[in-house]
Amino acid sequence: MSKNRNRTRRIYGIILTSFIIIWIGSVSLQMLSNRHNAWIASEMILQQLEDVIEENKESYQTLLETLKEEYTLRAETVANLLEMEGRLYQTTEEYRKIAKQLRVDEIHIINTGGCIVAGTNPEYFGYSFSSGEQMGYFKPMLTDKTLSMCQDMVPNTAEGKMMMYAIVWNSSGTAMIQIGITPSRLLAKMNSASVENLVRQMPITSGMNIFLLNATTGKMLATTRQDVLLYELQDSDRLEEGNLQEGKRYRTSVKISDRQQYLVYEKYGEYNLAVSYDILEANQNLIYVAATMFLVLVLSFLIIFYITERSIAAIDKNEEELKQAKEAAEERLQSEREHADSLAQAEFERAAAGSAEEQPADEPAAAGNDEGFFD
């Protein structure tokens, strides 16, 4: 029994050690799985953000082209209206009335040399196509009187206001008519479609955050969490030395606001886009998995313990019965031996007694023979 118990203890020790290894291995594998899933989820958000940025770029460009066509038509309308009135050169107030009717902010009459000579803004008179980069954009008009142009939204030369300008020649080719419009729709679209705003507006799950960083300095420009706006992506947080490769995604772990985070980030033009996932949030199921695995292993051990103890008890019982049977057999054998010995002793004693009774009858004959011999 003692030998069985020692062997059983060793088996229990091996089983317990195996279960502990299995439990630790399972928890570790779950952590690795959670980290992988967190990175995959972060990369999906990163891809969604890039898709939204590209869609907004396309939408912005489409709106810009539409406005250019619209503003060029308005410039042609002003030119046609002035020709219908038969007066190209009018007072400032008259130009302003026309501008209000056609919903434009500025009207400029530009001579064949490219100089503003009349219009709604007397303070601009004298500015020419040589006055700066913004006005210089229209220089091709001087050599092609069939040309019409519309400029992207840029700060104007005189005041630095964000404007869009469209320009056409009048039918006689004696002057150019230019209109200027503050593109409120385009400005609103530009603001809403800015990468900073898109980052702030992106829907995210609990524990996840998006960061927009300057690709050169690593300084935070926008984030879904204002409490980490001053965070900077340090060199020690990068996967590789030097500048990040365009289009290549990096995975790492960093500490942000004293909380450890899984991080996926990528260089996107002049920006670094990053998506973080709080490690505690990503491993929320770890306690459940660890507890479940622990209970399963404990239950398994108890079942093994129960079955083993029952088996050992049965073996011990059989061994005890065998021992008792052996002892009973030995007792019977001993008893039979003793009985046989006693029978043999009795037989021996009877034989000895028989020999003693026969001895006296022989002695007289022997005596007579002796006397005759000596005689």
What is the reported pLDDT for 228?
A: 55
Closest by CA to 107, choosing from 128, 147, 79, is 79
SS3 266: strand
What is the reported pLDDT for 308?
A: 74
185: Cβ contacts below 8 Å, ≥ 6 apart: 63, 67
What is the reported pLDDT for 375?
A: 42
What does the alpha-carbon distance between residue 103 and residue 120 come to, in Å, rounded to a whole number?
A: 13
What is the reported pLDDT for 318?
A: 76
Distance of CA 355 to CAs 343, 359, 360, 361, 365, Å? 19, 7, 10, 12, 18
Q: Where along the chain do its domains lie?
A: 2-62+190-282, 66-183
What does the alpha-carbon distance between residue 128 and residue 115 come to, in Å, rounded to a whole number?
A: 4
What is the reported pLDDT for 300?
A: 81
Distance of CA 287 to CAs 19, 37, 137, Å? 17, 17, 65
- CB-based contact 166:178 (threshold 8 Å): yes
What does the alpha-carbon distance between residue 169 and residue 175 come to, in Å, rounded to a whole number?
A: 6
What is the reported pLDDT for 357?
A: 61
Domain 2-62+190-282 has CATH 3.30.450.20: yes
Local structure of residue 194 (DSSP, 8 states): S
Distance of CA 203 to CAs 46, 263, 293, 333, 362, Å? 12, 17, 34, 93, 137
Question: Do the domains 66-183 and 2-62+190-282 match in fold?
Answer: yes
What is the reported pLDDT for 259?
A: 79
What is the reported pLDDT for 3?
A: 61
What is the reported pLDDT for 368?
A: 47
Give the tokens for residue 48.
Answer: 């969604």
What is the reported pLDDT for 365?
A: 47
Largest CA distance in the chain: 210
Mean pLDDT per block of 10 residues along the chain (375 residues) reads 67 81 84 85 86 82 88 94 86 93 93 95 93 92 94 87 93 94 78 73 80 78 65 47 70 79 84 84 78 82 78 72 80 81 79 67 49 43
CATH architecture of 66-183: 2-Layer Sandwich (3.30)
What is the reported pLDDT for 97?
A: 93
